[in-house]
A and B are shown apart, each in its own frame.
Chain A
Amino acid sequence: MKYSKSHDVLQQTLITVAAYFILAFSFYLFFAGHNDPGGGFIGGLMAACAFILIYVVFDRKKAHEAIKISFVPFIAVGLLLTIAVGFIGILFGQAYLEQFFDYFHFPFFGKVELTTALPFDLGIFFVVVAMAMVVTLTIAEDKG
């Protein structure tokens, strides 16, 4: 990646704030997924966009300091999570990847629907973020 050489304070400040909003929106999209447009895949891509934005406006060192995440393990974590959730169905004598849901009452939140699809989707979220970031950063840092 051509890291920004200019130290445009205005640009950097604005993008930092924007990145927070984009991240927040990506979480919203992730949770909204079951009933509204969104979900793990879209949420993950949105989060990746936020990270990429930070990498674009800051130099590499600073961006690395700000985002202290090594993305490669998240691929494994996400995959394992997705695969593991599938076994819940087997535990209850159903088929692999049978999803369950029910409605619960919580103080403050009210009636909330909890599904096993959520951790499944979280796994997808992880893989998508990690994949987008790994591919982008690897190509960007390539000196060959």
Chain B
Amino acid sequence: MSSLHIAILIPFMMAILIPIIYPYTKKIHTGWFVLLVPTALFLYFLTFLPTTTEGGYEYVSLSWVPSLGINVDLYVDGLSLLFALLITGIGALVVLYSIYYLDKASERLHHFYVYLLMFMGAMVGVVLSDNLIVLYIFWELTSLASALLISYWFHRKASVYGAQKSMLITVFGGFAMLAGFCILYGMTGTFSVRDIIAQTEGMAGSTLFLAAMILVLLGAFTKSAQFPFHIWLPDAMEAPTPVSAYLHSATMVKAGIYLVARLTPVFGGDAVWFWTLVIAGLVTLTYGSITAVRQKDLKGILAYSTISQLGLIMSLLGVGSAAIYMESGEGALFYSLAITTAVFHLLNHATFKGSLFMAVGIIDHETGTRDIRKLGGLMTIMPITFAISAIGLASMAGLPPFNGFLSKEMFFTSLLRATEGDFFSLETIGFLLPVIAWVASVFTFLYCAVTFFKTFFGKFEQSHYEKPVHEAPFGMLISPVILVALVVTLGIFPNIVAQSLVAPAVTSILPRFSVDELDIKFSLWHGINTELLMTLAIILCGSVLLITMKKWSQFNIYKRERDPLHWFYDQGLDGLIHFSQTVTRVQMTGLLRDYFVYMCAFILLLLGWTFWYADAWSFNISSVATTPFFVYIVTAVFIVTALCLPFIQKRMTLIIFAGIIGYIMALYFAMFRAPDLALTQLLIETVTVVLLMLAFRHLPEMAPEKAAPTKKLGNIVISAAVGVTITVVGISAYSLGTDANFSSISDYYIENVYKLGGGTNMVNVILVDFRGLDTMLEVLVLGIVSLAVIMLIKHRFKGGEDV
């Protein structure tokens, strides 16, 4: 256990601690305690900066399930560190912001911060894990924490709906990803990302390569809200705004980006990978930006803008994967710019989108509404929020001198460079890429401008608001101001992160390059070139669209705010529930006899098929011990009693006859020298008879059998078949064992029970010692059964509930 392991554990330990200290510290906002965690972790991760800047890494390992190749291996390189710093840094700011956003008197803070800390720990775990299974576990934990945070105000129907939606979609992707990881394991024999990367040679030719790639991408696309899986993100905006700022724009949705970046050395260089990422990314970018224009809710706009920006980063990662195809040299360096841009934009997006979300949270908090049709004229009333939003929106729209401008220009450069390629059929359709990117950017500019003017300009109407509107308290402004300061700093002095944060991350994605080789330099002014002209055209077109907004806002398509894709999700979910209910109704007849038939038939099929497949029939009973005469008499009684059962019409007689069979079983155990089993059987039989008697008075008079003769015949056949199969299997197992001269396992126990277990009752020593885990889980089942009995009887349904 190293300090890195402890760093991941700290948020979880704090999450356990919070509910314990919460009742005693109600006077202090719980957030102040929580704030310590991300701050400390941020400072801790900063200490790794010198290592990664030099291109080094830190690797620690802790065995977990070594026999399956699952170990908690942590790995800090440039990419992991960038994400870890983002998670903890933005995390600290978000916690600080939430202290003023969430009222300590009326909110259930101990719930909120437990989920938030759980998320933080899981997210750090995702980006630091080298082992894919550990990564997967943390990945699903982030989905869980996200769903819990979205449904934080669970009394609102929309919150629960959004939480369920995000959970279903991201967990669906997670399962696909797990399958992809397992295929990777099958191909390479290891779960370690680094070892897999080392074995990529020749993997592209494998038939499973494509399957693994698509499954992993499904996980990444659902998490990063790529089209058409993006529909969960707008509904996730029901979460409190600090959560939206943290999970649904700055960190969790970037987990998919992280995964794609992390596995680029494995899959990159393949045409399918290139085009899947580029097409999914560009479609998401365009669709998100166009849909964002239609939104009337500020958070809705930001949600779709996040979707669109994630698409942008995804497409950049796709274009950059060409650098791996080019292998090395000038050509690879040429395309590595796209990866650099992706990493840089990831950082920029976190800063400006984080600040924008916080500004929207302030507006929501102080005015009580986020509807842009109601808002207006807030510039003079909320000057600081105005300034924050203005800078954030300008950066998002790609205006100089902010960091968004830099990465957007570089985005255009990367796509323009892609058109020059003569591989992956880029020469035929490559020219489309910059065109699509340009169109999407026009809409990005448009929705930024709409948000800006609708919120802060126009006429201020007090009647639209339920409470007097004023600027937010000081504490709420600290975090967005810090983020905006970063937006400006990174815009004007972008090179402070170039070699320290961006370059090491790029080298983790493109391991062929070293930090010095990349030699990343950002520049605000790069002469009059195509990219600059594109930006000018965007401003021009966007402004024209803004001025003519009155005209086109009359179109029906603009008024339809809700994404049509939601309809598919709703219908699909309804259909799924309906279908499963139908299936359940078909088999759940409420008759114990029917269930028994299902089970028996299934066991018969399984056993029969295996038996036939393995050709296991054998009959050799030459070495069986002789049976004393009285055993035959007992057996005859046993058989006669069993045969009588179907013909008895009185329930009381039935219970007695069933009891006789049970006691004869005990007699068998006694005869064959198994006193423990005999005792157990006797006691069980006694308790069962008592239980049957108790249930007796609840049962109606036994009705005569009315089943159709064919059904009766079927049941007779099945029961006879069960008997025959079990007998045949028993005899074959015995005689095959004799043929193959298997030594019985009882020899081992006879030898070792006293030596290792210290007891002379073999059965019991096996139960508590050699097979203790089985026994433990069995009593666990017993406990669950008794709780189920309590639930079924004491809290039974009164009818009318939907099960």
Listed in ascending order, the chain A residues whose CB lies under 8 Å from chain B are 1-2, 29, 32-42, 45-46, 48-49, 52, 56, 72, 75-76, 78-79, 82-83, 86, 96-97, 99, 101-102, 113, 115, 117, 120-121, 123-124, 127-128, 130-132, 134-136, 138-140, 142, 144
B-side contacts of A131, CB under 8 Å? 782-783, 785-786
B790 touches A138 (CB 8 A): yes
With A2-B697, A48-B687 as given contacts, are A135 and B758 in contact (CB-CB < 8 Å)?
no
**Sample (15) of A-B pairs whose CB atoms are under 8 Å apart:** A33-B761, A33-B764, A35-B761, A38-B676, A38-B679, A75-B786, A78-B783, A120-B768, A123-B779, A135-B691, A135-B789, A138-B790, A138-B793, A139-B695, A140-B694
Listed in ascending order, the chain B residues whose CB lies under 8 Å from chain A are 675-676, 679-680, 683-684, 686-687, 690-691, 694-695, 697-698, 757-761, 763-765, 767-769, 772-773, 775-776, 779-780, 782-783, 785-787, 789-790, 793-794, 796
With A123-B779, A124-B775 as given contacts, are A42 and B761 in contact (CB-CB < 8 Å)?
no
Find the A residue at minimum CB distance from B676.
A37
With A78-B779, A131-B782 as given contacts, are A1 and B675 in contact (CB-CB < 8 Å)?
no
B768 touches A39 (CB 8 A): yes
CA gap between A130 and B787 in the complex, in Å: 11
- From residue B750, how far is it (CB to closest CB) to chain A in Å? 15
CA gap between A35 and B760 in the complex, in Å: 4
B-side contacts of A139, CB under 8 Å? 691, 694-695, 789, 793
B772 touches A99 (CB 8 A): yes
With A138-B794, A144-B796 as given contacts, are A52 and B690 in contact (CB-CB < 8 Å)?
yes
CA gap between A83 and B793 in the complex, in Å: 28
B786 touches A135 (CB 8 A): yes
A-side contacts of B793, CB under 8 Å? 138-139, 142, 144
The majority secondary structure among interface residues of chain B is: helix
A99 touches B768 (CB 8 A): yes
CA gap between A140 and B680 in the complex, in Å: 23
Query: Which of A2, A37, A86, A132 has a CB less than 8 Å from the CB of B761?
Result: A37
Find the B residue at minimum CB distance from A26.
B683
B769 touches A117 (CB 8 A): yes
- From residue B652, how far is it (CB to closest CB) to chain A in Å? 14
A97 touches B776 (CB 8 A): yes
CA gap between A134 and B775 in the complex, in Å: 20
A-side contacts of B758, CB under 8 Å? 34, 101-102, 113, 115
With A34-B764, A38-B764, A138-B793 as given contacts, are A97 and B679 in contact (CB-CB < 8 Å)?
no
B787 touches A37 (CB 8 A): no
Most buried by B among A45, A76, A102: A45
A127 touches B776 (CB 8 A): no
A45 touches B680 (CB 8 A): yes
CA gap between A39 and B753 in the complex, in Å: 16
Known: A49-B686, A117-B759. 9 other contacts (CB 8 A): A33-B764, A42-B676, A42-B680, A115-B758, A117-B765, A121-B768, A127-B783, A135-B691, A138-B789
CA gap between A86 and B764 in the complex, in Å: 17
With A97-B776, A117-B768 as given contacts, are A75 and B694 in contact (CB-CB < 8 Å)?
no
- From residue B511, how far is it (CB to closest CB) to chain A in Å? 39
- From residue A5, how far is it (CB to closest CB) to chain B in Å? 14
B772 touches A38 (CB 8 A): no
A-side contacts of B686, CB under 8 Å? 49
CA gap between A48 and B782 in the complex, in Å: 14
